[in-house]
């Protein structure tokens, strides 16, 4: 008795079809598990640990920004690579006696490198040494008050 070749071919194709579905499903699940693993390995830092409290104070920051929009109170922030310094030039109305505040050097990609320094004006300029700063983008966030008027200014610099 002769076997029907078409029924064997059909049975063989059915097995391949089922096996292909299992392989496709397994590859999909494996790919998803790999993506989940890669996502859990990423360092996810919040911009700030106390972002909620800072959000509440945002209106105060807007008021400070509006106060510092006038050209006569703007700070001049520059990176002097040859001297290894960030130099902040204050307006003529700011002196060490009537100006208080702080400067935050903020590193967007690594919050562990951020630090604060108090404002210390000498001859209208504050110099910040950059030897200990890592190379790359930094944000200089200046928050100061002169004669009880609050100001805020943020500048970007690249340390090379």
**Residue 40 backbone zone (phi > 0: left; psi -120 to 50: alpha; other: beta):** alpha
**Residue 80 and residue 33 share a domain:** no
**Residue 36 and residue 6 share a domain:** yes
Going by the DSSP 8-state scheme, the letter that residue 89 receives in this structure is: E
Going by the DSSP 8-state scheme, the letter that residue 128 receives in this structure is: E
74 by Cβ neighbours in 10 Å (0-12 / 13-18 / 19+) ranks as middle
**Contact between 128 and 117 (Cβ < 8 Å):** yes
**Residue 87 and residue 57 share a domain:** yes
**Residue 91 and residue 19 share a domain:** no
Three-state DSSP class for 29?
helix
Q: Which domain holds residue 5?
A: 1-42
**Contact between 109 and 133 (Cβ < 8 Å):** no
**Contact between 127 and 118 (Cβ < 8 Å):** no
Q: What is the pLDDT of residue 96?
A: 66
**Residue 107 and residue 31 share a domain:** no
Span 33-81, pLDDT tens digits:
999 999 888 877 656 667 777 777 777 788 888 888 876 778 889 998 8
Q: Which of 74, 103, 101, 100 is nearest to 89 (CA)?
A: 74
Count of the separate structural domains present in the chain: 2
**Residue 60 and residue 8 share a domain:** no
**Residue 114 and residue 83 share a domain:** yes
In this predicted structure, the answer to whether residue 115 has a pLDDT above a threshold of 80 is yes
Q: What is the pLDDT of residue 33?
A: 97
**Residue 116 and residue 58 share a domain:** yes
68 by Cβ neighbours in 10 Å (0-12 / 13-18 / 19+) ranks as buried
Give 65 or 94, the one with higher predicted confidence: 65
Please name the residue that has the structure tokens 């943020």: 154
**Residue 144 and residue 127 share a domain:** yes
**Residue 63 and residue 24 share a domain:** no
**Residue 148 and residue 87 share a domain:** yes
């Amino acid at each position: 008795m002769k076997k029907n070749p078409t029924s064997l071919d059909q049975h063989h194709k059915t097995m391949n079809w089922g096996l292909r579905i299992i392989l496709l499903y397994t590859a999909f699940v494996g790919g998803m598990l790999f993506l989940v693993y890669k996502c859990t390995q990423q360092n996810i830092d919040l911009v700030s640990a106390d972002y909620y409290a800072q959000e509440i104070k945002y209106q105060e920051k807007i008021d400070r920004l509006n106060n510092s929009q006038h050209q006569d109170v703007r700070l001049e922030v520059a990176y002097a690579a040859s001297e290894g310094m960030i130099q902040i030039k204050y307006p003529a109305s700011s002196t060490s006696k009537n100006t208080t505040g702080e400067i935050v050097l903020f590193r967007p990609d690594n919050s562990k490198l951020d630090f604060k320094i108090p404002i210390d004006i000498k001859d209208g300029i504050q110099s910040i040494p950059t030897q200990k700063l890592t190379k790359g983008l930094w944000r200089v966030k200046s928050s100061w008050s002169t004669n009880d008027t609050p100001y805020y200014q943020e500048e970007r610099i690249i340390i090379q």
